Structure 1
Amino acid sequence: MIPEIFEDLCGVAPGAIVASVGGGGLVCGIAEGLDKVGWSQVPIVAVETKGADSFRASINANKQVTLPTITSIAAALAVRKVCTKILELYKTRPIFSVVLSDKLAVDACVRFSEDQRALVEPACGASLAAVYGARTTEMRKHGRLPADKPIVVIVCGGSAASIKQLEEWQEAVQRNGCPSPERDHTGID
């Protein structure tokens, strides 16, 4: 995937790669690909939803943590424990952890379906929410990401998505009282 991005960007490094984190394998693969094309210092923005945030919990504990349960609707992120490799990478390269609500992830799924006419699951919606919302803008403002380079979002995870399922996810986040975007208190680490 990274070699294709390298080719598409004519070898010019992006400001960041944004991807969702479940068990950590995708982020580890992205890091390996970045190394292969000479982009080791390109930041990776690793996005999770609250209730499936085993990466953030492990960062906070400074060790691998197993979540007692998964409460997020982002089923593809429903991994109670991340791999140790992602924790090793976090200590040696620019990886930023972002945790967002299910509501923001689902809202991003809806917006993406309107913008691109393609359906994605909330796991992917989490990454899209980081870009549609203010998270990457905040990171640029605070110097964590370069302001003058494109941000690449890894958009994957649509096999379980349908219009009916998207409506059910919207109903679920409303029923569960997820915070609105204005009150979403999770952030960037």
Structure 2
Amino acid sequence: MNRAEIERAAKRYREGRPHFIRRTPLWKLPGAALGVDCREVWLKLEHLQASGSFKARGMLNRLLANEIPASGVIVASGGNAGIATAAAAKALGVKCEVFVPTVSSASKQAKLRELGARLVVTGAVYAEALEACNARQKETGALLTHAYDQPEVVAGAGTVAMEIEEQGGEVPDSVLVSVGGGGLICGIASWFDGRARVVALEPELAPTLYEARRHGKPVDVAVSGVAADSLGAKRIGAIAWEIAQRCVDDALLVDDASIRAAQLWLWTEFKLAVEPAAALGLAALRTGRYRVRADERVCVVLCGANVDPATLA
């Protein structure tokens, strides 16, 4: 993965019809506004992306870069990648079939049905839904869109970092990124490529990259907790692992209580309705799990918003 591939994804978005990908806002705030002892915190509001998460970028790039058969597209997902694929497929006028595990939230399943996708709920976790999806794809020949482990998906995710640099007018000192299968972080790390410190954040109950680094190779992990429907991969993706070894500076774990507290704080203070996966960066900052320097400009990617706001009241 390199910057040229990410630039090609951005070009596809500009030239594609219909226009689908949004240029999401970047907020630059003094660290004190978020209770953090640093110069600035940049919030990339990617939860405002089409389909409610950064996943729209990778899914659309995958569809635009490939010929789509009459059987359409197929994907397994905890929810967000499925919603993104279904939304992109609807915009392009093609069929979509989505496999989700039972842990996928009711709100995400409802959104998939609203988008017209054929929804299959199967398996307790993402890996089991993926297995069923792969078997179905062999039957139908539909274009398989992987939630995180395809080059086009990673390149699409990398356009988040391209926008951060363009909107910020400079490269931040550090970028904090939530990790499930690793598509977002390896896209971002590929764009910055050593020009910013890229830090992976994972829930303690879903530590795919953390455990891969500890063992020196990708390993299966048990997945549960508040972010399991969006950070539910049981193993870091092959592309992400290869890039992470070169371009990701650290992997840190955050407990569920801190994640939930940060999620509720963002709603209470800024009326930002984000899902737990998007709150890891703020949780790491406010708890000191990630230790900032006083002069640091740290960027936090709010990666998804597919959450029922009633749960934040």
Q: Please, what TM-score do these two structures have when normalized by structure 1?
A: 0.74
Matched, 1:166 2:312: yes
Matched, 1:73 2:226: yes
Once the two structures are aligned, what percentage of the paired residues are identical?
Answer: 27
Q: Which residue of 212, 215, 218 maps to 1:61?
A: 215
CA distance in 2, matches of 1:161, 1:124: 14
Q: Which residue of 280, 287, 290 maps to 1:133?
A: 287
Q: Which residue of 246, 267, 270 maps to 1:116?
A: 270
Matched, 1:20 2:178: yes
Task: Give the aligned residue type for 1:7.
Answer: E
CA distance in 2, matches of 1:53, 1:2: 23
Offset at residue 5 of structure 1 (A): 1.3
Give the root-mean-square deviation of aligned CA atoms. Answer: 1.7
Task: Give the aligned residue type for 1:149.
Answer: E
CA distance in 1, matches of 2:288, 2:304: 23
CA distance in 1, matches of 2:189, 2:209: 16
Q: Please, what TM-score do these two structures have when normalized by structure 2?
A: 0.46
Matching residue of 1:172: none
| Higher strand content, 1 or 2 | 2
Structure 1 residues 94 and 73: alpha-carbon distance in aligned structure 2, compared to 1, 3 A threshold: closer
Gaps of 5+ in 2: 1-159
- Structure 2 counterpart SS, 1:158: coil
Matching residue of 2:168: 9
Offset at residue 99 of structure 1 (A): 0.4
Given that residues 15 and 148 in structure 1 are in contact (C-alpha distance below 8 angstroms), is that contact kept between their aligned partners in structure 2?
A: no
Matching residue of 1:171: none
Matching residue of 2:301: 154
Offset at residue 134 of structure 1 (A): 1.0
Task: Give the aligned residue type for 1:77.
Answer: L
Offset at residue 70 of structure 1 (A): 1.3
CA distance in 2, matches of 1:139, 1:91: 22
Greater relative contact order structure (CA < 8 Å, 6+ sep):
1
- Structure 1 counterpart SS, 2:230: helix
Moved more, 106-115 or 83-92: 83-92
CA distance in 2, matches of 1:89, 1:112: 31
Deviation digits for residues 125-180 of structure 1, max 9, x if unmatched? 112201222123x254xxxxxx42310000121112423x236xxxxxxxxxxxxx
Gaps of 5+ in 1: 141-146, 168-189
Moved more, 154-163 or 108-117: 154-163
Offset at residue 3 of structure 1 (A): 2.1
Moved more, 12-21 or 80-89: 80-89
Q: Which residue of 104, 107, 110 maps to 2:258?
A: 104
CA distance in 2, matches of 1:48, 1:16: 16
- Once the two structures are superposed, the pairs formed by residues 34-45 of structure 1 within 5 Å of their partners are 34-35=192-193, 40-45=194-199
Bigger Rg, which one: 2
CA distance in 2, matches of 1:50, 1:159: 21
Matched residues, number: 153
